[in-house]
Structures are given as C-alpha cells and as structure tokens.
C-alpha cells in the first residue's frame, strides 16, 4: 500500500472516530444529581433581595479633628439619612498617635455619629482594652464614649466604671476619662 493512500484513509477515519467517541460521551453521560449541587447561598435568596443593603461595605474618611477612620461591616442596611450595620469593625487613628480598634455586633449610623452595640470591645494602642454594652463614636468631635457600665483591662490592672469618655484634652493629646463609680483592682 502506498504511503499517500494511508494518509488519505486516516484523514477520513480519525475525524469519524473522534465524532463517534464524542457522541458516545454525550449519549451515555449521566444527568446531574440535584442533591449534590453546589450551594451558592445559605438562607433564603428572597430575603436577601427583598431588603436593600450591601454586603461587606468598607468606608474610610478623615474626621474634623484629623483622625483617620475606617469602618467595615458584614452587612449594611440604609434607612433614609441613617442606617444600620452588623458585625462592625471601626479603626480610628488620631494625629497624636493614639489608635483604637473597636468591634461590635451591630451599629447604627447617623450624621456624624456611629452608635455601636452588642458586645462592644475597644482596644487602644496605649494597652487598654475596654468592653461595654454600647459606645458612641462622634466623628465631629473625635470623641468615643460609653454611657453605661464599662470594664477595662489596663496595663496596671482591671477597672470598672459607670461610663467612659475618650476625647481630646486641653493640651491636644487624647485623654481617657472613666466616671461613675470607678473601681480598680491593682495588679503590679
């Protein structure tokens, strides 16, 4: 048999064989199992589309006093001029070097005010860790306050107080003021 004749036959037979194999794969393939399908979202998709909001929002800005502010949340829901957010993390860095990292389960946002609630924990760069049921961050005055019971872990011991205010003092540096029946357990 001639070499040219073999090539001509292979040009016809190989594409036909490939077509037969592909046809067999499509005809004998199994249908997909809906039980093994990949879940794309937990919960009802209708719930997510029924209410407006954003997933994983991230906001950054500068306050009137020059502090940088970064606010992150798992979800934010707008409501007119204000809104609410869940699983919130607030990073605040003042020009004098003081930094605060605040986490909370929920927050409401209003013009110039962020009210944090549900297990608020603030960690300061000075070594203090503060926990309270609620805290308010006022961006207009660079002030962080807690109107109710505050528990603090300081470099020198544990404190409890009826409230607290972290604000700029008369000399420009930030001052942490605990008030309302302060109790200290000194740990040298």
Identify whether residues 26 and 99 lie together within a single domain.
no
Indicate the average pLDDT of the chain.
84
For residue 82, pLDDT over 90 is answered with no
CB of 48 within 8 A of CB of 64?
no
Identify whether residues 144 and 66 lie together within a single domain.
yes
For residue 102, pLDDT over 90 is answered with yes
Predicted local distance difference test score (pLDDT) of residue 50:
61
Identify whether residues 79 and 164 lie together within a single domain.
yes
Predicted local distance difference test score (pLDDT) of residue 162:
92
For residue 41, pLDDT over 70 is answered with no
Residue 126's nearest CA partner among 160, 150, 94, 103 is 94
40 lies in some domain = no
42 lies in some domain = no
Element holding 15 (H helix, E strand): helix 3-28
Identify whether residues 21 and 109 lie together within a single domain.
no
Q: How many CB atoms lie within 10 A of CB 119?
A: 13
Instruction: Residue 94: give the domain boundaries.
Output: 53-186
User: Residue 73's domain is classified under what CATH number?
Assistant: 2.60.450.10
Residue 139: pLDDT band by 50, 70, 90 thresholds? confident
Predicted local distance difference test score (pLDDT) of residue 152:
92
48 lies in some domain = no
Identify whether residues 173 and 102 lie together within a single domain.
yes
* pTM (two decimals): 0.68
43 lies in some domain = no
pLDDT tens digits, one per residue of 114-129: 899 999 999 999 899 9
Measured CA to CA, the distance from residue 138 to residue 152 in angstroms comes to: 21
Predicted local distance difference test score (pLDDT) of residue 172:
74
Identify whether residues 15 and 58 lie together within a single domain.
no
| Higher-pLDDT residue of 36, 28 | 28
For residue 48, pLDDT over 60 is answered with no
How large is the average pLDDT for residues 168-188? 84
Identify whether residues 18 and 111 lie together within a single domain.
no
* Percent of the chain at pLDDT exceeding 90: 34
How large is the average pLDDT for residues 42-67? 74
Q: How many CB atoms lie within 10 A of CB 113?
A: 15
């Amino acid at each position: 048999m001639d070499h040219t004749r073999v090539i001509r036959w292979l040009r016809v037979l190989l594409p036909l064989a490939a077509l037969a194999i592909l046809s067999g794969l499509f005809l004998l393939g199994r249908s997909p199992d809906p039980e093994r399908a990949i879940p794309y979202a937990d919960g009802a998709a209708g719930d997510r589309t029924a209410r407006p909001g954003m997933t994983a929002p991230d906001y950054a800005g500068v306050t009137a006093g020059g502090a940088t502010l970064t606010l992150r949340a798992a979800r934010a829901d707008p409501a007119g001029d204000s809104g609410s957010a869940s699983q919130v993390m607030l990073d605040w860095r003042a020009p004098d070097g003081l930094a605060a990292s605040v986490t909370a389960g929920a927050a409401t946002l209003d013009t110039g005010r962020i009210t944090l609630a549900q297990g608020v924990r603030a960690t300061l760069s000075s070594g203090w860790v503060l926990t309270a049921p609620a805290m308010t961050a006022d961006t207009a005055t660079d002030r962080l306050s807690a109107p109710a019971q505050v528990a603090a872990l300081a470099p020198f011991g544990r404190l409890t107080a009826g409230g607290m205010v972290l604000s700029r003092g008369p000399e420009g540096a930030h001052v942490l003021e605990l008030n309302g029946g302060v109790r200290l357990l000194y740990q040298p």
